Amino acid sequence: MLEKSLGVSFFLKTPWKKGDSFRFVYLRVTVDGIPKEISTKRKWDNHRWNQNVERAIGNKEDARSLNQYLDSIILRISNFRTELITNGKSITTKAIIDFIQGNTIAKTTVLQEFQKHNDEMLALVEVGDYAKGTHDRYVTARSHVKDFIFDHYKCEDIEFRELNYSFIINYEFYLKTIRKCSNNTTLKYIANFKKIVFRAIAKEIITKDPFKLFKSQKTKLDKKPLTSKELSTIENKVFSTDRLNTIRDIFVFQCYTGLAYIDVKQLRKTDIKDGIDGSMWIISKRQKTKSRTDIPLLEKAVSLINMYSRHPLCVETNLVLPVKSNQKMNEYLKEIAAICEIEGDLNTHRARRTFGSTVTLKNGVPIHVVKEMMGHHSVTQTEDYAITTQEMINREMQILKEKFKTEKNIKDYKDNE
């Protein structure tokens, strides 16, 4: 609710020591009849003060300086009052006094608030609300912001109120040039930082959104799954080391189950259960989204489970497969790609795409069923995996050709009757 009345006045405070003509200049703010006074920290001679106009008397430099200072306070209060009205906030004596004293100016710095967010996220990781990898990405994102501030502003940190559009575009430029990040990687780090900024806006640390004019667009990547031929090549290749054979088997298992790296790494024997049809299913939850995934196991996946059931690590930990770190997995998969002459990057996520496209959709599994098996929240997510290969195009066009051929034969038959 807006104020009914606002009064601002200045006066000289009567000193405790009698006979002293120099007194502190005080500001009195009254809103709806409620007054509050604070010192301006300025002293002035009582004999050179006109209380009727509430200003210093004379044209000397010291008098003009004091009067200009008092005028600036009036202007600041007026601007602050307008800001409160614009934001739909109540105007109170305390709000105005706090503003003049600087108590409403957020002192929170960018890195301080970023660290608070990361600390809270880490606590939620421990209770299972977030994946450890998600927290790690925000730790890296904060590190990039910290390095940028030091590189661009030559200081350790800046206050949130210093953020503006210039900061955002310069940070984007820094990530692409100094950090050598790709466009999509740059936008991911900016999105991480954007979450911290929106958090600060919600907490009223800042009032303006520095991202308001920032425009960005992801580069569309050619995320191709393996073709049936490529998958078969990898499956049937016999490598000279157990290391590559094991990594290949884990990758192939992902291709036939659609499990993400972290899900196959944490997959336990207790997650393999009898499904509705009496056969073996994976019944668990995705580590990333906590969404349930029910996956009937194909014969190839079952054979791999049986193959590694007596592996020492699997016996000791009750895990289904002896999965190494994601870094090692992708490192060894590069070797496998080179040996098998597979085009493009071969990584754990490509296995998931292969399941979503080559193994399921290509073989007629409805997209809504694939969605459930992959643990997606919507079909839109699954559609990103539904990459149309030449094989699928050829199959659909052959069906169309047969349809046209049949219709033509029927027409010719009727014409000849």
**pLDDT grade for 409, boundaries at 50, 70 and 90:** low
Per-residue model confidence (pLDDT) at position 388: 53
* Stretch among 102-111, 132-141, 274-283, 365-374 having the lowest mean pLDDT: 102-111
Q: Which residue type does 293 have?
A: T
pLDDT at position 237 over 90 = yes
Q: Mean pLDDT over all residues of the chain?
A: 87
Domain at 110-203, CATH class: mainly alpha
Q: How confident is the model at residue 239 (pLDDT cuts 50, 70, 90)?
A: very high
Does pLDDT of 198 surpass 60? yes
Beta bridge partners of 285: 292
For a pLDDT cut of 70, what percent of the chain falls above it? 91
Tell me if residue 23 falls in helix, strand or coil.
strand
Cα–Cα distance measured from residue 46 to residue 58, given in angstroms and rounded to the nearest whole number: 13
The proportion of the chain whose per-residue pLDDT surpasses 90, expressed as a percent, equals: 57
Residue 1 has a pLDDT of 42
Dist CA 194 CA 300 (whole Å): 44
Q: Which amino acid is located at 405 in the chain?
A: K
Task: Give the pLDDT of residue 164.
Answer: 92
CATH code for the domain defined by 228-386: 1.10.443.10
DSSP annotation string for 53-91 = TTEE-SSSHHHHHHHHHHHHHHHHHHHHHHHHHHTTPPP
Q: Mean pLDDT throughout 182-193?
A: 95
- Checking if the pLDDT of 342 tops 70, the result is yes
Q: Residue 253 pLDDT more than 90? A: yes
**Window from 43-47, 176-180, 261-265, 393-397 with minimum mean pLDDT:** 393-397
- Please report, for the chain, the start and end positions of each structural domain, with discontinuous segments joined by +: 6-101, 110-203, 228-386
Kindly report the number of other CB atoms within 10 A of residue 309's CB atom.
12
Q: What is the pLDDT of residue 103?
A: 72
List for the chain the helix, strand, coil content (%; round to 5).
Answer: 55, 10, 30
- CA 333/CA 240 separation, integer angstroms: 14
The dihedral built from the CA positions of residue 109, 113, 116 and 118, taken in this order, carries a sign that is negative
Average pLDDT of span 180-206: 92
Reading across the β-sheet that carries 34-45, which strands appear in turn?
6-12, 22-31, 34-45
For strand 22-31 and strand 272-274, is the pairing parallel, antiparallel, or unpaired?
unpaired
* Of the listed ranges 33-42, 103-112, 133-142, 251-260, the one predicted with least confidence: 103-112
**Residue whose C-alpha is closest to residue 161's, from 93, 118, 112:** 112
Least confident of 226-235, 327-336, 405-414: 405-414
List residues bridging with 36 in a β-sheet.
29
Question: Tokens standing for 74?
Answer: 């009036």
- Would you say the C-alpha torsion 230, 304, 351, 379 has a positive or negative sign? positive
First-residue to last-residue Cα distance in the chain: 88
Q: Does the pLDDT of residue 391 top 80, yes or no?
A: no
Residue 307's pLDDT band, with cuts at 50, 70 and 90, is very high
Structure confidence at residue 179 (pLDDT): 94
Distance CA 31, CA 208 (A): 27
Whether residue 408 is predicted with pLDDT greater than 70 in this model: the reply is: no
Q: Are 344 and 224 in contact (CB under 8 A)?
A: yes
Six-digit token pair at 253?
A: 């298992």
| Residue 376 pLDDT > 50 | yes
The Cα-based distances of 162 to 20, 113, 209, 230 in angstroms read 44, 14, 12, 53
Spatial contact of 190 and 172, defined as CB atoms under 8 Å apart:
yes
Q: Band of the pLDDT at 386, cuts 50, 70, 90?
A: low
